[in-house]
Structure 1
């Protein structure tokens, strides 16, 4: 059963969306986004299993994030050009195949190839978010997108504890195998329930892709918001790639299940999304952005005591996640106001910009930890959002 919706028929846009579909969108976004983060607490297990050097372990996460950025650039914009339901289902199907291959990877070459393709195809999550925005009636759009984003953020934040816990019983391969099964089930349900939507765009694919760079250059709000969150997401990825490595060493000697319990502290970040949305609706985006960025700086400052204090690490995990998730919502709310007919491309540019930052953060985690220790990680973690604050002060004085 399906419905066709176009940009020129608002009544039809809203007809296919309700509580059940909203829940499906949220759950699917969360499950797809989680694929990028399952490996964060498992890099030591994966590296030792396949003979990867310790200093290169964080590159496992980096490859997935690079893949996600590739998907955002080359696949997500297709939502402004081709029928959305078909695009999403094909991408989810490819994701299932990639996850299965990753779970069976016999060596490093196929491991990295699998992580790259998993990252590329997990971008189906960012096809669902603008589809939800387009299908929702105007008076409910904010609430619907907020609910879908809560699901996406929940998937990101739960991925680490879930993968750490499951790895104790199923190994790292079992984690990705179960993810493949979950995405397969969600794709089957989406095949029945997901409504059709034919976009109104008529430009060709190459013109569509070329327009992404122009959007970044010509839309200052999009550019600023993308760069703010690139710095924030780099710090986020740095923390969550390095912290599990520290926790598995002396003096903590955590098991994967212990890391899972620690990672649950980050799940509190999901509560930042609705609060940030309400603050933005009331005109507090600017002060909210400053507070969100400052929270991440403060979190890394406290985490300098993390080599001896578990409480300091827990505090940092909570504060860093709250700040990063709040800033994401502030940014996404602003960019979706720019041009409703190109939401897929706006979302693609925004997400690509900050996922490049995330890939940089995760790539730096292991080498910085090896050379500068945990203190080096904390100093870099403070510098990244600190640079965003300086940028905000210099270029955002006139407001968004």
Structure 2
């Protein structure tokens, strides 16, 4: 660790509890830009005269761009004042969304989508910022609040994209998102507190530190493994869902994908509770519950093969379970990560989220190709395999308690 690290600035006076709510809203609005294109895949394919599996590359490159942006840009949160960094990235995102909405061909759309993904890393700058503004006893709760905003953005984005796209064309969601993102940048300029950089290291050193932390911090690697596997299954299911719903088995529009996403948005209310569970029981136990929920989701999602009303109900319940598993697991994982090294939270989050979205990108690619080759049943199998792999990351011994680090002596008292 560099000798140039210095303590993070104390909590700004007067931020109270409203600032985390505003930050949660900002997380939701910005992260939606990565996810609403998933509901537009059939419309993009029809407009450009390409196969749906080819159009699904739009979702993949957007997530890959997000992974690249996480690795290259989020470490700057430890080196630069976060407020101008966050608002500058929102301005770039708005311009890229505008370019995507005006794209004359599929190639330029892919290029603009990649830039959107790269610049839409604002939530991963806001999360470590929020974690540094509260004490350890409230960290899980505040992370849960921001995670609820993320969940709302992820799931409502599909409804936003599906409904607007169905009625006004696939370009409209991009243009509306460009305006909303620009407005968000203005609001955050005047609302976010000023924070001092945590380190003075040069940019290449920050990137090397991120890789070094992935090598040295076992708890970081455990969080990465949990999220890569479960989030990969999540991305596979949601990418293939639009192809299933608009295909011959259901023959419905992208609006139906958006409505299913609205049902799944119920999981956003679980994230603050998950934060409290992490504060009380520890991240390991919450991760185990999430793995079990993902396995249950894989089983329930197979009812989508029935078609009709019964299939739609099964899809809604299964997706809700899967959403709860991914989002509550995210709260547990990030609470574990942010407790490791306070002066390096942005770099720790960089390593964690970069790997998570590489897993999500792989899941999107696998989901689209599994559906094209073998159908929805194969996609459900992918979700089940991902959950089984995630279970391998659960510790064999006693689950770690909140705030307990690896190698820390265990309490000898058996009192409850």
Fold conserved between structures, TM > 0.5: yes
Q: Is the 8 A contact 1:289 1:330 kept in 2?
A: yes
Task: Provide Cα deviations, 1:146-193, integer angstroms capped at 9, x if missing partner.
Answer: 322221221112111121111122211100111110011111111222
Aligned pair partner of 2:254 in 253, 256, 260: 256
CA 1:194 to 1:163, structure 2 compared with 1: closer, same or farther past 3 Å?
Answer: same
Q: Is the 8 A contact 2:8 2:196 kept in 1?
A: no
Secondary structure at 2:12 match in 1:
helix
Give the match for residue 3 of structure 1.
Answer: none
Distance 2:92 2:70 in 1: 15
Distance 1:310 1:189 in 2: 39
CA 1:371 to 1:191, structure 2 compared with 1: closer, same or farther past 3 Å?
Answer: same
Give the match for residue 44 of structure 1.
Answer: 42
Q: Is the 8 A contact 2:290 2:328 kept in 1?
A: yes
Q: Is the 8 A contact 1:246 1:307 kept in 2?
A: no
Report the Cα offset of residue 288 of structure 1: 2.3
- Is 1:371–2:373 an aligned residue pair? yes
Distance 1:127 1:101 in 2: 24
5+ unaligned residues in a row in structure 1: which ranges? 1-5
Give the match for residue 101 of structure 1.
Answer: 99
Give the match for residue 187 of structure 1.
Answer: 185
Distance 1:254 1:182 in 2: 28
Report the Cα offset of residue 253 of structure 1: 1.6
Q: How does 1:28-107 map to 2 (within 5 A)?
A: 28-107=26-105
CA 1:10 to 1:226, structure 2 compared with 1: closer, same or farther past 3 Å?
Answer: same
5+ unaligned residues in a row in structure 2: which ranges? 401-416
Report the Cα offset of residue 256 of structure 1: 2.2
Give the match for residue 327 of structure 1.
Answer: 329
Give the match for residue 347 of structure 1.
Answer: 349
Distance 1:37 1:172 in 2: 14
Distance 2:230 2:128 in 1: 22
Give the match for residue 243 of structure 2.
Answer: 245
CA 1:9 to 1:223, structure 2 compared with 1: closer, same or farther past 3 Å?
Answer: closer
CA 1:83 to 1:36, structure 2 compared with 1: closer, same or farther past 3 Å?
Answer: same
What RMSD over aligned residues (CA atoms) do the two structures have, in Å? 1.8
Task: Provide Cα deviations, 1:101-148, integer angstroms capped at 9, x if missing partner.
Answer: 011011111111011000000002211111122233556444333322
Give the match for residue 358 of structure 1.
Answer: 360
Q: Is the 8 A contact 1:41 1:160 kept in 2?
A: yes
Give the match for residue 211 of structure 1.
Answer: 209
Give the match for residue 227 of structure 2.
Answer: 229
Distance 1:194 1:303 in 2: 41
- Is 1:196–2:194 an aligned residue pair? yes
Report the Cα offset of residue 284 of structure 1: 4.5
Aligned pair partner of 1:155 in 140, 153, 158: 153
| Number of residue equivalences | 392
The more displaced of 146-155 and 92-101 is 146-155
Q: How does 1:271-282 map to 2 (within 5 A)?
A: 271-282=269-280
CA 1:23 to 1:281, structure 2 compared with 1: closer, same or farther past 3 Å?
Answer: closer
The more displaced of 356-365 and 267-276 is 267-276
